[in-house]
Structure 1
Amino acid sequence: MTRLILVLGDQLSDRLSALAQADKANDIVMMAEVYDEASYVRHHPKKIAFVFAAMRKFAARLRDAGWQVLYTQLDDTDNAGSIPGELLRRAEETGATKVLATEPGEWRLIQALRDTPLEIDILQDDRFLASHQMFEDWAKGRKQLRMEYFYRDMRRLTGLMMEGDKPAGDKWNFDHDNRKPAPDAVTHSGPMQFTPDETVEEVLDLVEARFGNHFGTLRPFHLATDTKQARRALTHFIKHALPSFGDYQDAMLRDNRFLYHAVISPYLNAGLLSPMEICQAAEDAWRAGDVPINAAEGFIRQIIGWREYVRGIYFLEGPDYPSRNALNHSRDLPAMYWGAETRMTCIDRSVAQTQEEAYAHHIQRLMVTGNFALLAGIDPHQVHEWYLSVYFDAYEWVEAPNVVGMSQFADGGIIASKPYVSSGAYINRMSDYCKSCHYKVAQKTGESACPFNLLYWHFLDRHRERFSQNARMGNMYRTWDRMDASRKETVLSEAQALLDRMDAGEMI
């Protein structure tokens, strides 16, 4: 009996469970570039090109390994336009009556497969270290699902950076050493770049023709598109950037987009790299004395801690998670998120970088674009769809918890114990953005006051009933309560005037 083996664009791994359970002699691998997956949100052209190019190369690799592969390109005349449609077309063509699929990373696509009138066996995605059952068992009975405690269990499970049953350096977390402001000079030249080959160029032409009106710059394109290239990019990072990654992972610079960041998340999330090979490379460099412990630990925590944790939350909480809105925010996403002119240097540089690179690092996402959206009361679903659209590493299982939960507090505190809000002082401390900004970060009121300063207090005031008893926010409310009444009135009225101008479409 012939079966179709479905391989999706973010499942480009030889270790995929559907491939592991397939019969190379009889089963047929099915892969398809479909319009539905490229456009259910208006994905950045670089992301679409990366996925399509990597898919084509992975299909060729499978054929070389002896698999029979049916591959549909986007512009094939018979393309059904969706994954279910392609499954039905290929089933009719081959006579296959059963499909093996590894679980997709989005509830939307899981439901689409379940609704397809074929017998589809959806297998666990065991490329992740924590299964759904393992996460559910960890979460059961806990009042708070804090990542730090999950991370410690993952360290014990994997043995990474452990000395027997104790963490290396006698500490689980070296984050205190990882908060240095932006350095005067960055010695790292950035992530490894790759010249597009014939396959990539063909995809770039296709994406330019079909998705050229999506937000984002397609060329130049320098991403890795196969496992060999991705491993070279990893090696480059470990050797040249990881030693300083820990110190400066939260820093931001106007004229340096990458600092000491790895920029390997698209490769990891698409399956070109595995989490353990990445973490073992970092641990090996630390044990060899080439990388300080704070850098290795901080990097590994992002992968076996945070990445595995947010996936666990996404599947634990269910399909409605991306639509949650605990703070009842309803303001429309302002045009400056799509590249419209703004006087705010931090927003301008973060969005311009996003538009050109399909990338911004975690602090730019959390404490610049995310912080502003939360303070301004933007509809979290619009914020969610923006992040899902514009970043090359965004798939809903990882993006929604980071945005809906961590960034926008729209899940009501499942992930974050308090909202991640700050005034302009934090951005000034961690970046050089404020030095060239129209607004003055030290000014609290008046025409030149930093919008973050005004909106910070406006947010706290309008959500006082919810947050005033939060133990981590008490000092903020005590500071607000000590302000002179007339000053508080000025802050709130100027903040509201700023929001009114933004709502009217005026430049902020």
Structure 2
Amino acid sequence: MTAALRFLLGDQLSRNIPTLCGLDPKSDVVLMVEVMEEATYVRHHPKKIAFVFSAMRHFAEELRAEGITVDYVTLDDSDNIGSFTDELERAVSRHKPERIVVTEPGEWRVRRMMDGWREAMGVPVKILDDDRFLCRPATFTRWANGRKTLRMEHFYREMRRCTGFLMEPDGTPAGGKWNYDTENRNALPEDLSVPSHLGFAPDATTQQVLHLVAERFGHHFGDLDGFDLAVTAADAWAAFEHFVTHALPSFGDYQDAMRLGEPVLYHARIGAYLNAGLLDPEAVCGRVEQAWRDGDAPLNAVEGFIRQILGWREFIRGIYWLKMPDYAATNALSATRPLPEFYWTGETDMACLRDCVSQTRKQAYAHHIQRLMVTGNFALLAGVDPVAVNYWYLAVYADAYEWVELPNVQGMALFADGGVLASKPYAASGKYIDRMSNYCGNCRYDVRKQTEAEACPFNALYWHFIAKNREALAGNPRMAMPLRSLDRMSPEKVASLRSRARNFLDSLKYTEPGAW
């Protein structure tokens, strides 16, 4: 009889995951399963499915090399029933364990599933806290209690104090400031070349997975060609080290910049590795801090990077577990428009959106400003239903799991939570995109115009959004300036802008929910 059946999920590929702590190779079995339900609850990008399955298979082999018994069920196993619950029940029948050990999942729906296992499996189920994060949900709840507003900056400073990252011995922040964001908003000079990122040729295991994914999920949005993601912890760390050496020194200056045909620029592209467990966030932050202390990277770059991991990543996870499940249904701005079809096809004359969607199709990746200020900004201005937008983001990015995707989209991109997460809607006209990219110079629309047929649609959509949501935004101090600007416009100009916006939106093709 097996003492403990230790069930590992596909985003728990860390050797120090609590599920594996205390494992006895002589009496315990590790269960890992590839199931259709998890690959299709949204129509995930094929590269994401291939990444997860290949990383799982490689991790299983690493465990076996340690002498650990791994019961691994592949997707094409003829007996595979297709869900976590069903496969766990089958494994219980095979191994007859005394107990089941799991680590809490990253998504609410899976946690509800786990809660039902205690009764369904007929053996004790121990659900352990996931200690791979730097702030546990209970700690975040204690921090949030009694606060009128929950702001990442306040949380981030507390995390700096708790962890000691970028702190001086006297308790002050390195360099005398907590945040160097004002130094991290430079546009990319036209003549500046960007570093390469480190990719990896698929080995035999990954090739098998790619064949399987092409056969089963080739109809999903996204290309499998050119798969070069790391699928082991060693390769993920090598890719990260490449970033530290070649891109980190300029990351701070250009982290908000965008360039046509350049999906990565100075970004690390490690979100998928962190969120699947191949990289440890504390180790990543420590390595970046060391680069600064060694004189290999400036403080604005290092602080900006650590803020993304220690601040933002931990903050949105805290919001997710604090506010779910009701958080997913919020719609503060009453947005109901279907998702435009070009989010799936990339067929639009707007160069910024065409480029972002096209690279997403190819790479299952876009950096945070492309997600927030291009695809997210358009969905916000157009009033697209948050359910549809969340589905899209969760489906198309390799690093997307609901705990990280939902707060970013619901709270940051769409302001659907009414300000729980962000202090204002991140709405912008074409001027912002023009300032931070070279998209507008390659677009048939003119970013300098507002109401003409050739005018950038973002311009009219921005003022349409402000006018339409005037009442909802009136009490927000950070929206006072655009509201005053709206008031100074003549009624005729406002009417013309809103007419242009409505006509443009009416001209679009839309995707109905059933077609997702």
Give the TM-score of the pair, scaled to structure 2: 0.96
Structure 2: where are the runs of 5+ without partners?
512-516
1:147 matched to 2:152: yes
Distance, in Å, in 2 between the alignment partners of 1:340 and 1:294 is 35
Contact 1:186 1:259 in 2 (8 A): no
- 1:496 equivalent in structure 2: 502
Letter in 2 for 1:428: D
C-alpha displacement of 1:478: 0.9
Map 1:2-401 onto structure 2 (within 5 A): 2-116=3-117, 117-118=120-121, 119-164=124-169, 165-401=171-407
Residue by residue over 1:266-310, the C-alpha shift from the partner in whole angstroms, topping out at 9 and shown as x without a partner, is 111100010011111101110011100000000001001000000
Distance, in Å, in 1 between the alignment partners of 2:167 and 2:435 is 33
Distance, in Å, in 2 between the alignment partners of 1:221 and 1:475 is 46
Distance, in Å, in 2 between the alignment partners of 1:504 and 1:267 is 33
C-alpha displacement of 1:167: 0.4
C-alpha displacement of 1:188: 3.4
Letter in 1 for 2:451: T
Deviates more, 1:348-357 or 1:156-165: 156-165
Letter in 2 for 1:177: E
Deviates more, 1:254-263 or 1:109-118: 109-118
C-alpha displacement of 1:80: 1.6
Residue by residue over 1:413-469, the C-alpha shift from the partner in whole angstroms, topping out at 9 and shown as x without a partner, is 100111010000000000000001111000011101111101111111111111123
Contact 1:368 1:427 in 2 (8 A): yes
Q: 1:444 to 1:302 in 2, by over 3 A?
A: same
C-alpha displacement of 1:258: 1.0
Q: Give the number of aligned pairs.
A: 505
Contact 2:341 2:510 in 1 (8 A): no
Structure 1: where are the runs of 5+ without partners?
none
Letter in 2 for 1:122: I
C-alpha displacement of 1:503: 5.4
**1:5 match: secondary structure:** strand
C-alpha displacement of 1:489: 1.1
**2:478 match: secondary structure:** coil
C-alpha displacement of 1:499: 1.6
Distance, in Å, in 2 between the alignment partners of 1:37 and 1:353 is 24
Residue by residue over 1:376-416, the C-alpha shift from the partner in whole angstroms, topping out at 9 and shown as x without a partner, is 00000110010000000000100100001111111111001
Distance, in Å, in 2 between the alignment partners of 1:467 and 1:70 is 54
C-alpha displacement of 1:492: 1.1
**2:32 match: secondary structure:** strand
C-alpha displacement of 1:339: 1.4
Q: 1:132 to 1:21 in 2, by over 3 A?
A: farther
Contact 2:338 2:510 in 1 (8 A): no
**2:215 match: secondary structure:** helix
**Structure 1 segments of 4 or more deviating over 6 A?**
none
Deviates more, 1:286-295 or 1:97-106: 97-106
**2:5 match: secondary structure:** strand
Letter in 2 for 1:315: W
Distance, in Å, in 2 between the alignment partners of 1:322 and 1:353 is 27
Letter in 2 for 1:400: L
Residue by residue over 1:299-336, the C-alpha shift from the partner in whole angstroms, topping out at 9 and shown as x without a partner, is 00100100000000000002232222111111100100
1:408 matched to 2:409: no
C-alpha displacement of 1:25: 2.3
Residue by residue over 1:158-182, the C-alpha shift from the partner in whole angstroms, topping out at 9 and shown as x without a partner, is 1111112010000000001000012
**1:472 match: secondary structure:** helix
Give the TM-score of the pair, scaled to structure 1: 0.98
Deviates more, 1:179-188 or 1:237-246: 179-188
Deviates more, 1:40-49 or 1:88-97: 88-97
- 2:477 equivalent in structure 1: 471
Letter in 2 for 1:24: P
Residue by residue over 1:206-253, the C-alpha shift from the partner in whole angstroms, topping out at 9 and shown as x without a partner, is 000000000000111111000110110011000000000010000000
Distance, in Å, in 2 between the alignment partners of 1:418 and 1:55 is 39
Distance, in Å, in 1 between the alignment partners of 2:373 and 2:228 is 27
Distance, in Å, in 2 between the alignment partners of 1:225 and 1:420 is 34
